[in-house]
Amino acid sequence: MKLNTLKPAKGSVKSNKRLGRGQGSGRGGTSTKGHKGAKSRSGYSRKFGFEGGQMPLQRRVPKFGFKRPQKVVYKPVNLDILQQLVDKTKAKAVDINLLTDNGIIGKRDVVKVLGRGELKTKVDVTAHKFSTSAIEAIEKLGGKVTTL
């Protein structure tokens, strides 16, 4: 075997269509584009969502609603999740960094501690917001609640 004798496998390489090379080729004249119209011209590209002049779907469907940019969306963390975290890490205090490191919340999440489940151990909790039932449950065991 020599480099000058290497060839691709038989049938693996196709020759491309030679458009617009005379009537005898079978692909001359209109070059398989049909007659006239925008699609036969060079440089044609249909606008995204264009439906042939019909009113496009995104303009037929009405706009509604409003998203307030200042709205704060809290990530809920319940007492049962805090208990699981304390059991796993043996931590005496739970703060945003501990929750982030264990994958319970994201880096930019704003946290609200809610009162679902029960807390069995004394723990100091630091978060952005607390429900009244969560505050009662934490303080009942002698824990401390700190709002950021």
Query: Quick check: 65 pLDDT over 90?
Result: yes
For the residues 36-65, what does the mean pLDDT come to? 92
Query: Quick check: 60 pLDDT over 90?
Result: yes
SS (H, E, C) 17-51: CCCCCCHHHCCCCCCCCCCCCHHHCCCCCCCCCCE
For residue 125, give both structure tokens: 């909790």
pLDDT bucket at 1, cuts 50 / 70 / 90 = confident
Query: Quick check: 18 pLDDT over 90?
Result: yes
What are the structural domains, with CATH classification, of the chain?
A: 74-147 (3.100.10.10)
Query: Quick check: 91 pLDDT over 90?
Result: no
For the residues 76-105, what does the mean pLDDT come to? 92
pLDDT bucket at 85, cuts 50 / 70 / 90 = very high
Query: Quick check: 55 pLDDT over 90?
Result: yes
pLDDT of residue 56: 95
Lookup result for tokens 């060839």: 7
Rounded-to-integer distance, Cα 33 and Cα 4, Å = 40
Provide the H-helix boundaries in 3-146.
57-60, 79-89, 96-101, 132-140
For the residues 15-43, what does the mean pLDDT come to? 91
Question: Mean pLDDT for the chain?
Answer: 92
Q: Which residues, in sequence order, are CB contacts of 49 under 8 Å at separation 6+?
A: 56, 57, 58
The upper half-sphere exposure of residue 18, i.e. CA atoms within 13 Å in the direction of its Cβ, equals 6
> Which amino acid would we find at residue 128?
H
